[in-house]
Structure 1
Amino acid sequence: MLDIRKLRLLRELAHRQTIAAVAEALNYTPSAVSQQLTALEREAGVPLLERGGRRVTLTPAAHTLVGHTESILAILEQATADLARGRAELTGTLRIGTFPTAIRTILAPALVDLSTAHPGLELMVTELDPVLAPGALRAETLDIALVQDYDYVPVDDDAALDAEPFLEEIVYLAEPAAFAEPGPRPTPLALSARHENPWIAGTPGTLCHTMTVRACQAAGFTPRIRHHADDFGAVLELVAAGAGVALVPELGARTPPATVALTPLDTRRRTRIAYRRGTADHPAIRAARTALRHSATAAREGWASAH
């Protein structure tokens, strides 16, 4: 009988590519991961890994086994959800992952609703870049998370997760008001006009940083990024100070400084609610999904009435 814990390590290796990354994500030592994977190969009776220096690659048999592992884990999650539905009230811990602008605009009201409706549920929020959320969900350090993709930065589906559409936002070019030109401008024209300006972008490796670089490259130039900031409030203050121009999604651009002009582009950011396969009907996950949607609807209505 194959050991589900070892199978989970193999699944993570398929995603993270290195034994060191798997060990860090799941709180193992690298040697322990290697030993467990070697034991799994013995149990399977076929080679699962091809080793070359510090790198390992999965054999075709290992990829087949990973596919079965995803199905097995989803069935176990569904079993847990079925048992939870038999309880009289929601208890335990719900770990929620989100990005900074969603905390103050959407998540905070949702937490109030969840705490009021389910006082026995312990809520834990982690702020992280959306690019890290799928791995945290697979590693079970999160139970539900807001994940994103942008035009120019598509994100591959993860077989371990289910995700549902949640929010779509306009992306704006934020620039000092003195720079702004009247009238709508298509994305390439608006961006190419700023090819000589310094740019402000997120930390390298974040989704926002990648989006800025690729959007500018699609407009025909590579941005000269001078400043890095992950909080869009800080980004807008830097723009107001004349430090550069930036791309800012709608949630981060609700209250710009008076000296900042926002030009809507044809670029979009899409947010989805993600959770592990098999957990959609878990009472805690279902309650969180409902609360998030109610909060997003209320926020949208508030923004519409304010303009």
Structure 2
Amino acid sequence: MLDPRKLHLLRELSRRGTIAAVAEAVAFTPSAVSQQLSALEKEAGVPLLERTGRTVALTPAGHLLVEHAQAVLEQLERASAALAGVRGGLSGPLRVGAFPTAARVLLPPALADLTRAHPGLVPMLSEIDPADVSAALGAGELDVALVHEYDFVPPVTDPSLETEPLFSEPIYLTNRPSIAAAAADPWIAAKPGTLCYTMTIRACQAAGFDPLVRHHLDDFDTVLAFAAAGHGIALVPRLAALAPPPEVRLTRLPLSRRTLAAFRRGYEEHPAIRAAVAAFRSASTLLPV
């Protein structure tokens, strides 16, 4: 019989690419991960990994088993959700991930409502970039997370995750009437590799130019402070610009950022996840967007 815990490690290896990355994600030592994967190979009766020096790759049989492992792990999630549904009142930790603006604006009232309705539930919040959410949910580091999508940036799909849309908000441009009017200006953007950075670059390219990014800043309060001091032009979502400095003029653009709740596939009917998503949605109806 194949061990689901070892299947989980194999799935993580297919996602993360190295034994060391899997070990860090699941809080094991690299040698313990290697031992578990070797034991899984014995259970499977076929080679699952190809080892070349310090690198490890999945064999065709390994890739095949990962596909089946995904289905098995989803069924186990559904079983866990079903059992939680018959136990009665919700209790225990609920690990929530969120990007900074959602953590600051949406989650304080949402988590307050959640704990009032379910006093035994203990929400535990971690700020996280949406690009890292898939790995954190897959590794069991988070139970539910808030992620976002931008125009000009195709959504990142992960077959092991489910998402539910919550709300949409407009994007604003600082101190210029249009993106095209800022073609010669220095720009402020998030760090490369983030969705916010990609959105800024592609929005400018759609206006006919490649922006000169002078500052890479992830915190929107800092972005607005730099814009107020004349250090560059930026695109900011509505939730990040509820109280801009008086020196910053905001022009609403026909662009949007959409926020979604994300969780592991098979976990969608878990009562704690349903309660959390309901609290997020309720709080979102009160947002000034």
TM-score normalised per structure 1: 0.87
DSSP 3-state at the match of 2:152: coil
The whole-number CA distance in structure 1 between the counterparts of 2:174 and 2:48 is 50
The whole-number CA distance in structure 1 between the counterparts of 2:94 and 2:44 is 35
Partner of 2:79: 79
- Asked whether the equivalents of residues 74 and 278 of structure 1 are also in contact (C-alpha less than 8 Å), the reply is yes
The whole-number CA distance in structure 1 between the counterparts of 2:200 and 2:52 is 36
The whole-number CA distance in structure 1 between the counterparts of 2:88 and 2:268 is 19
2:253 aligned with 1:265:
yes
The whole-number CA distance in structure 1 between the counterparts of 2:203 and 2:17 is 28
Deviation readout 1:205-246 (Å, 9 max, x if unpaired): 322123223333343433222222222122111101101111
**Distance verdict in 2 for CA 1:24–1:210, change over 3 Å:** farther
Equivalent AA in structure 1 for residue 193 of structure 2: G
Deviation readout 1:81-132 (Å, 9 max, x if unpaired): 1111122311111111111111232111111111111111111111111111
The whole-number CA distance in structure 1 between the counterparts of 2:50 and 2:209 is 40
Unmatched tracts of structure 2, length 5 or more: none
The whole-number CA distance in structure 2 between the counterparts of 1:204 and 1:252 is 19
Partner of 2:48: 48
Question: Stretches of 4+ moved more than 6 A in 1?
Answer: none
- Once the two structures are overlaid, the 10-residue window that deviates more, 205-214 or 107-116, is 205-214
Partner of 1:290: 278
Q: Please give the root-mean-square deviation of Cα atoms over the aligned residues, in Å.
A: 1.9
2:220 aligned with 1:244:
no
Partner of 1:184: none
**Distance verdict in 2 for CA 1:64–1:156, change over 3 Å:** farther
- Asked whether the equivalents of residues 134 and 147 of structure 1 are also in contact (C-alpha less than 8 Å), the reply is no
**Distance verdict in 2 for CA 1:10–1:232, change over 3 Å:** same
**Distance verdict in 2 for CA 1:62–1:104, change over 3 Å:** same
Partner of 2:214: 226
- Once the two structures are overlaid, the 10-residue window that deviates more, 265-274 or 121-130, is 265-274
Deviation of the 1:168 alpha carbon: 1.9
- Once the two structures are overlaid, the 10-residue window that deviates more, 37-46 or 101-110, is 37-46
The whole-number CA distance in structure 2 between the counterparts of 1:18 and 1:233 is 36
Equivalent AA in structure 1 for residue 183 of structure 2: H
> Percent of aligned positions with the same letter in both sequences?
58
- Asked whether the equivalents of residues 131 and 148 of structure 1 are also in contact (C-alpha less than 8 Å), the reply is no
Equivalent AA in structure 2 for residue 251 of structure 1: L
The whole-number CA distance in structure 2 between the counterparts of 1:85 and 1:31 is 37
- Once the two structures are overlaid, the 10-residue window that deviates more, 122-131 or 225-234, is 225-234
The whole-number CA distance in structure 2 between the counterparts of 1:34 and 1:228 is 38
Of 200, 203, 206, the residue aligned with 2:191 is: 203
2:202 aligned with 1:214:
yes
Partner of 2:114: 114
Partner of 1:63: 63
Partner of 2:137: 137
The whole-number CA distance in structure 2 between the counterparts of 1:21 and 1:220 is 40
The whole-number CA distance in structure 2 between the counterparts of 1:18 and 1:232 is 34
How many residues are matched? 289
TM-score normalised per structure 2: 0.92
The whole-number CA distance in structure 2 between the counterparts of 1:268 and 1:53 is 47
- Asked whether the equivalents of residues 198 and 244 of structure 1 are also in contact (C-alpha less than 8 Å), the reply is yes
